[in-house]
Amino acid sequence: MNSLGDTKKALQYLFPLILIISIVSVYPFVQGMMSSLYGGSIFAGKERFVGIDNFVTLFEDDLFWSSLKNNIIWVVSCVGSEFIIGMAIALLMNMKCVKMRNLYRGLILLPWATPPVVAGLIWRYILSTEGPLNAFLKATGLMSNPPSWLITPGYSLMACIAVNIWLGLPFMTIMLLAGLQAIPSDIYEAAQIDGADSVQSFFHITLPMMKSVISVILTLMCIWTFNMFDVVFVLTNGGPGNSSLILSLYGYQNAFAYYQKGYGAAIGVISLVILLIPVSVYVKMLLKEVERE
């Protein structure tokens, strides 16, 4: 009886939160799904029900597949680089011999504290044809004729990836550092007594004990990076020649530049389905860990 009363009381407290989540999350999702079934221009007042025609057209759209390919390169390059570099920095900052570690932690958070749009504007100036980077490369003789990073196919996406790594690296580093500090030091001491070196300790102690932390971080970073819009929009707007176009920007262009809300919504739905892949993988891993416990 008490248990039933406690459940009712808990539901009363949770109801406002559930209502807010429904308004800000569930309603936009349902609205997006509904919009993807309609076609026509929103300003011409000619929206009509087209069923799955938007999805059929989408799968026949070469620009969609090009954007998806760029998205895969974007996510793998950004998240992979952030993890490798972030782990290296976290390992260094976790060493007791490193002085002023608190200062370094504060400094490394500065890029993360910078709004993506502001960061994009700063880096657009730095990477411009006559910007500081090219001036430095010419002055030092590293490049006599450096490229225009943001308006040259092949370099534009790479430049966007570099800027996004700069933005996302602090979060990755701090989270990995927190995971490292949660590992008891006596485990490493016991491994040293048994003759394990630093490399062996990293692969046989650090990585296995940080498996759950790493899974959460990589899942979140994949989702955030896949949906990233600001950096590419400010730096290149998908150019030149759509060489740096990603799905989030392509959806935005269709919905708000070309006024094809239904087609833009269809791109958003496909993006959501793709993002369910890393989420489902993480949930399966989590369930396996629960079963083992």
Q: What is the pLDDT of residue 284?
A: 81
**Mean pLDDT value of segment 213-230:** 91
How far, in Å, CA of 57 to CA of 65, rounded?
A: 12
Q: What is the pLDDT of residue 83?
A: 96
* Residue positions counted in the chain: 293
Q: What angle do CA 35, 41, 43 make, to 5 degrees?
A: 110
Q: What is the pLDDT of residue 1?
A: 45
Comparing C-alpha atoms, which of 165, 166, 129, 160 is closest to residue 237? 160
Q: What is the pLDDT of residue 42?
A: 63
Q: What is the 3-state secondary structure (H, E, C) of the chain?
A: CHHHHHHHHHHHHHHHHHHHHHHHHHHHHHHHHHHCCEECCCCCCCCEECCCHHHHHHHCCHHHHHHHHHHHHHHHHHHHHHHHHHHHHHHHHCCCCCCCHHHHHHHHCHHHHCCHHHHHHHHHHHCCCCCHHHHHHHHHCCCCCCCCCCCCCCCHHHHHHHHHHHHHHHHHHHHHHHHHHCCCHHHHHHHHHCCCCHHHHHHHHHHHHCHHHHHHHHHHHHHHHHHCCHHHHHHCCCCCCCCCCCHHHHHHHHHHHCCCHHHHHHHHHHHHHHHHHHHHHHHHHHHHHHHHC
pLDDT digits (tens, 9 = 90+) for 210-219: 988 898 899 9
Q: Are 264 and 36 in contact (CB under 8 A)?
A: no
Q: What is the pLDDT of residue 125?
A: 95
**pLDDT at residue 293 above 70?**
no
**pLDDT at residue 194 above 70?**
yes
Mean pLDDT of all residues belonging to the chain: 87
pLDDT band at 248 (very low <50, low <70, confident <90, very high): very high
Report the relative pairing of strands 48-49 and 38-39 from DSSP bridges: antiparallel
**pLDDT at residue 153 above 50?**
yes
**Mean pLDDT value of segment 100-127:** 86
Q: Which pTM value belongs to this model?
A: 0.86
pLDDT band at 245 (very low <50, low <70, confident <90, very high): very high
CA distances from 103 to 69, 100, 115 (A): 40, 5, 22
Cβ within 8 Å of residue 181, ≥6 positions away: 94
Percent share of the chain, pLDDT over 90: 46
39 backbone φψ class: left, alpha, beta (φ>0; ψ -120 to 50): beta
How far, in Å, CA of 14 to CA of 17, rounded?
A: 5
Domains of the chain by start residue, with CATH = 34-291 (1.10.3720.10)
Q: What is the pLDDT of residue 27?
A: 82
Q: What is the pLDDT of residue 290?
A: 66
Q: What is the pLDDT of residue 2?
A: 54
**Mean pLDDT value of segment 178-184:** 90
**Backbone phi, psi, residue 108, to 5°:** -70, -15
Lowest mean pLDDT among 2-16, 110-124, 168-182: 2-16
Lowest mean pLDDT among 29-38, 71-80, 163-172: 29-38
pLDDT: is 195 or 88 the higher one?
88
Q: What is the pLDDT of residue 35?
A: 87
CA distances from 117 to 64, 113, 188, 215 (A): 25, 12, 43, 28
**pLDDT at residue 129 above 60?**
yes
**Mean pLDDT value of segment 162-186:** 92
**Backbone phi, psi, residue 128, to 5°:** -65, 165
**pLDDT at residue 162 above 70?**
yes
**Backbone phi, psi, residue 49, to 5°:** -75, 125
**pLDDT at residue 234 above 90?**
yes
Q: Are 183 and 209 in contact (CB under 8 A)?
A: yes
